[in-house]
Each structure stands twice: as C-alpha cells, then as structure tokens.
Amino acid sequence: MKVLVTGAKGQLGTDVVIMLKENGFDVYGYGRKELDITNQEQVNEVILKDQPNVVIHTAAHTKVDQAESEPDQAFLINAIGTRNIAVAAEEVGSKLLYVSTDYVFDGTATEPIDEFQPTNPIGVYGRSKLAGEQMVRNFHSKFFIARTSWVYGAHGNNFVKTMLKLGQEKKELSVVSDQVGSPTYTVDLAERIIDLIQTEKYGTYHVSNSNSCSWYEFAKVIFKEAGLDVQVNPCTTKDFPRPAPRPAYSVFDHMSLKINGFDAMPDWQTALKRFLKEQGQ
C-alpha cells in the first residue's frame, strides 16, 4: 500500500512516517519545503505523480496564539490547504485521513466528548481546523477525521519536553490547573492512524490516550516519573493570559473507536512512562 504523508517533518508526521516504514508500507513523506499545501498546482502534481492509496494529512498551522494575529494564514493552511489535499486525493481515488484537534470544541463540556457532539470552536486555530474538517467532508468521499489533543513526542516542541527542560533549571513552577484534557503520545496516535487507514470504517474519530488530567497534574507526573525534584504550584488560566482562548475541558470519549471495533487507547500515564523511558529519562 502506497501512503503519502503531508507534514512529514512535524511532530506527528515524523512518527507516522517511521511507523509506516516499520510496518512495510511504501511511504512518500513530504515536509513543508517539498510540498506547499497552499499551492494547488503543486499538490495536484505531487499526488498525481505518486498515485497513493492513502493520504495522511498532518500538515497544519498549529501555533495557536499566533493564529489569533494571522487568521488569513491559519485559514489558508488549515482550510484551503486541506481543500487542495482533499480534491487531489479524491481525483486519484485515495483514502484520506485528516488530523484535527480538540480545539473544535468550546471547552464547556463536563463529561468526555464523543464524536457526535456539536462543535463550537472559540479561537482562530479551532475555527480554521474545523473549516479543514468541512473541506474534507465537502470534497472527499472516503475519509477519516482523527481529532486529537495535548500531543507530545520525540520530535518537535511540546509540553513534556518543556517541563523536562524547566525541571533542570528551576526548583519551583506554576502550572495551570483549570484546563483538563487527555495527553496523547505521538506513537500511540500514529499506531491508531495506521489501523484506521487499513479499513473502510470511514468517519470521525477521537484519538487521544485515555483518561484525563489538568496541565498541573500532568506536570507533577512528568517530574515524578523523570525523577526531578520540582515544586509544582497550581494556578488559573487567568493568571497566565494568552492571546488565544483555551478550551477548559477537552477530554475525549473514544466512542467511534469502540463501536467500530478498534483497540482501546493506552492510558496517558502508561504512555508517558514509555515516552520517558524511550527518551532515556
């Protein structure tokens, strides 16, 4: 099976490419320099040349705060770029998997959110990613939308790496305790993406590690597992104002995975331990 991956140099894309190759797929990985998803002619040319059976679309504008000050750029990449990919993938008859986000919800839920609940993004990033989902639904017939949350891994910048770095430099930190979600290890996310694309069980999926925590609880467990002695103090979102609003609650229910017969996602604590061990922590 031939698989084309956009955003192949990114945090998730890198692991997707590695794991596809390990599983014997014929992989075509494109980073931003090799494939500009906002250039429709280039997208058509590349996908027509490679004739993939599946396109995994991980490329995105993911700088949440920056998106607030450059909405045109966020929508150009996340909506128009996704349209370009969807149209070209449909043209060659390939399946399409689009990676989306918990930011398509407003954070007012009080129980885990399943795939059939209404979306209501509160910032530019979330709105642009939801527009990408709509482009996929409008222009493609064989698609998977995989929404994920709080992603970390070996490649690129993320919360876990930031905490490990700060843990070497500081003895005390304040971390937000009133935002709750599900941390997700890229390796577990990539594995489930690879499971999805080998089926015809199309639709929208919530794919995060299972169970939930606040950023404050997440930080405490990171330091504990890494053997770092850091005093972590809880603080509120208001104490750390940021340009983009964050959903206060974005814990996923994996209903689509369950009812379509896919394996349950590992819990976030187990995933974190595996990641730290693999990083030599």
Cα dist. 194→31, 191, 215, 264 in Å?
A: 19, 5, 28, 14
Burial 241-257 (b: 16+ CB within 10 A, else e): eeebbbbbbbbbbbbbb
Characterize the bridge pairing of strands 249-250 and 180-181. Answer: parallel
Residue among 246, 234, 106, 249 nearest 176 (CA): 234
Burial 130-166 (b: 16+ CB within 10 A, else e): bbbbebbeebbeebbbbbbbbbbbbbbebbbbebbeb
- Annotated catalytic, 125? yes
One-letter identity of residue 267: D
One-letter identity of residue 255: M
Characterize the bridge pairing of strands 143-148 and 203-206. Answer: parallel
| DSSP category for residue 37 | T
Could you say which of 30, 98, 103, 125 is catalytic?
A: 125
What are the catalytic residues?
A: 125
